[in-house]
Amino acid sequence: MAHERHFAQASFCGRERSMLRGDTTVQWQPVPARYCNMTAIVDPLSHDVLIRLRGVSKTYIGAGGRFGALSDFDLHIARGEFALVVGQSGSGKSTLLNLIAGIDRPSAGEIEVEGTPVHSLSERALSAWRGRAVGIVFQFFQLLPALTVAENVMLPMDFCRRWPLRERRPRALRLLERLGVADQADKLPGALSGGQQQRVAVARALANEPALLLADEPTGNLDSTNAAALLQLFGELVREGQTLVMVTHDRSAQAHATRTVELADGRLLRVLAPTQPVTIEGAGHA
């Protein structure tokens, strides 16, 4: 599967991000359809566009003929956003994430992430780019069962080689500490609970400090306590400057998000945005 081929490179080589947001409870309202593709209007945070999709389509050709999973899709996501992607099963959510991550190729259109033309990179360049720029968290964790927890987290660092060999394990341990699972470092993933495994998967996704964190139904296989804890953690990461795009069915995630993008039949149905700009921390006020 494409996921399995690429998850080991789900990682990151990012940068310091100064924009921090408050964890406010916000009300949501639909953005008029004519504004849906206009980040400058719907994005309350920044005009610094991290992800730009223009006229993106994805068509699968199978036994039943051609099937349009995504059709003429335009979307901008700003740096520092926590964007949710929602919609019914089969509406194209995973397709959208896989295209942004360069796991799948668009049939038409352009995808830029941090100015990198993801749609036109060679396989080799795409793989290197993904390893440094993107971290991915999946519903079923996708940890390598034969590697220890710490080795799983070190794997993207081994691909990316941003850190010297001697720094990789201490860095993995620091990430596991941050995720509250450092005491599991030398166990095999199979010995951990689902909630713990997903925390390890998040640590692995953060291993190379990716500019972009993607998560495809990350709470879908967690109990409600672990799901709430993961959303809380994602909220914290975003407040520290992480850009996060998450496919979810979990309505409570909206309390943490900057925008919700709703898909239907491979098209952008609407964008929900907070009624008020969320608080910007560190913007000069007490």
- Binding flag, residue 4, ligand ADP (CB under 6 A): no
Dihedral angle sign, alpha carbons of residues 14, 4, 267, 275: negative
Q: What is the rounded distance in angstroms from the CA atom of residue 25 to the CA atom of residue 10?
A: 31
Q: Tell the smallest beta-carbon distance from residue 28 to ligand ADP (Å).
A: 21
Cβ-based neighbour number of residue 140 at 10 Å = 15
- Binding flag, residue 106, ligand ADP (CB under 6 A): no
Q: Which of 96, 49, 26, 105 is nearest to 272 (CA)?
A: 26
Residues 35-74 as x/- pattern, contact with Mg ion by CB under 5 A: ----------------------------------------
Q: Which two tokens stand for residue 169?
A: 């394990």
Total site size for Mg ion, rule CB under 5 A: 2
Q: Tell the smallest beta-carbon distance from residue 91 to ligand ADP (Å).
A: 4
Q: Which of 256, 250, 214, 259 is nearest to 233 (CA)?
A: 256
Q: Which amino acid type is present at position 111?
A: I
- Binding flag, residue 89, ligand ADP (CB under 6 A): yes
CB 213 within 8 A of CB 135: yes
Which segment (43-51, 86-94, 172-180, 228-236) binds ligand ADP by CB under 6 A? 86-94
Q: Which two tokens stand for residue 283?
A: 């913007």
- Binding flag, residue 92, ligand ADP (CB under 6 A): yes
- Binding flag, residue 94, Mg ion (CB under 5 A): yes
3-state secondary structure at position 34: helix
- Binding flag, residue 142, Mg ion (CB under 5 A): no
Complex with Mg ion: residue 246 or 257, whichever CB lies closer = 246
- Binding flag, residue 95, ligand ADP (CB under 6 A): yes
The maximal CA–CA distance of the chain, rounded, in angstroms, is 62
Query: Which of Mg ion, ligand ADP, none does residue 195 bind to, with CB < 5 to 8 Å depending on kind?
Result: none
Q: What is the rounded distance in angstroms from the CA atom of residue 269 to the CA atom of residue 262?
A: 5
- Binding flag, residue 67, ligand ADP (CB under 6 A): yes
> Across the strands, what pairs with 53?
75, 111
Residues near 167 by Cβ (< 8 Å), separated by ≥ 6? Answer: none
Query: Which of Mg ion, ligand ADP, none does residue 274 bind to, with CB < 5 to 8 Å depending on kind?
Result: none
Complex with Mg ion: residue 93 or 256, whichever CB lies closer = 93
Q: What is the rounded distance in angstroms from the CA atom of residue 50 to the CA atom of residue 48?
A: 6
Complex with ligand ADP: residue 55 or 67, whichever CB lies closer = 67
Q: Which two tokens stand for residue 257?
A: 């998000």
Of 52, 93, 162, 199, the one binding ligand ADP (CB under 6 A) is 93
Q: What is the rounded distance in angstroms from the CA atom of residue 158 to the CA atom of residue 1?
A: 22
Complex with ligand ADP: residue 62 or 190, whichever CB lies closer = 62
Of 9, 39, 91, 226, the one binding ligand ADP (CB under 6 A) is 91
Binding site for ligand ADP (CB under 6 A): 60, 62, 67, 69, 87, 89-95
Q: Which residues bind Mg ion (CB under 5 A)?
A: 93-94
